Structure 1
Amino acid sequence: DQNGAAAKIGIVRGDVILTINRQAVSSLEDVQAALDKSGDRAILLLIARKGQTVYLTVKPG
């Protein structure tokens, strides 16, 4: 969804989340656990996008 939460933080269709706060993630459960652990702190994502890697910093709320 171009207007969804992922799009608002810079994630686009085809992106693959590789790490959250420098911790490797390989499943939806890993992603949820990393997000829960971060609490109200900013989150650093490493994303694979079209053969390149991109860092995104996401502030909760």
Structure 2
Amino acid sequence: MEVDQAEQLKELKKENARLKRMFADEMLSKEPLKETLEKSCEPLAQAPDRRKACIRGQMEQTIAA
């Protein structure tokens, strides 16, 4: 392996590690939102169109508050 290739490999590994950290941070920041939505949509989970039912439920909860 030549010096150029070794340096490029080192840079690529460094970039890969940075991207993996960014991805992990992004996933962790979305986890609380996902858990909140799952909890608030549990009673509506039996609806034929769960996504729309969950959104309606969220809107109804917001209006009632």
**Which structure has greater helix proportion?**
2
Same fold (TM over 0.5): no
Using structure 2 for the length normalisation, give the TM-score. Answer: 0.31
- The TM-score normalised by the length of structure 1 is 0.32
